[in-house]
Amino acid sequence: MGASGRRAVVTGAASGIGQAVARRLLDEGATVIAADLNEAGLAPLLEAGATPFVGDLASDADRDRLVALGGGVDFLVNAAGIIRLKPILEFTVQDLRDIYAVNVEATWDLVSRI
């Protein structure tokens, strides 16, 4: 089963694994919705034909917009993730909430609804 003619949503598409997967899907002929908070990082994918989605996956409203745009896709690639690089004793409750919102809640929500 190839990607040609199929639709995909790729989160975390502005860099790293997300960008690499989005490029591969585009190269194989898929229609790709490239999602990330970093609009500038999406530019290379837009030049390759991806549809941009700029939003914060920690936001319910932004996830609702992504679901509306990407509903019924053939592939969902959850590559978005955040980390806070500091000693654990310096973490705040908000740090943990932010990490959970993107890495767990957003992933579950998108898998459930797209």
Per DSSP, 74 falls in state S
- Domain 7-113 in CATH: superfamily? NAD(P)-binding Rossmann-like Domain (3.40.50.720)
Domains in the chain: boundaries:
7-113
Single-letter residue type at 68: A
Q: What is the pLDDT of residues 2-52, one digit of tens each?
A: 899 999 999 999 999 999 999 999 999 999 999 999 999 999 999 999 999
Q: What is the pLDDT of residues 44-90, one digit of tens each?
A: 999 999 999 999 999 999 999 999 998 889 999 999 999 999 999 99
| pLDDT at 2 (0 to 100) | 87
- Residue 1 pLDDT > 90: no
Note the helical H segments in the chain: 16-27, 43-47, 60-70, 93-100, 107-113
Q: How many other CB atoms are found less than 10 A from the CB of residue 58?
A: 19
Q: Global pTM?
A: 0.93
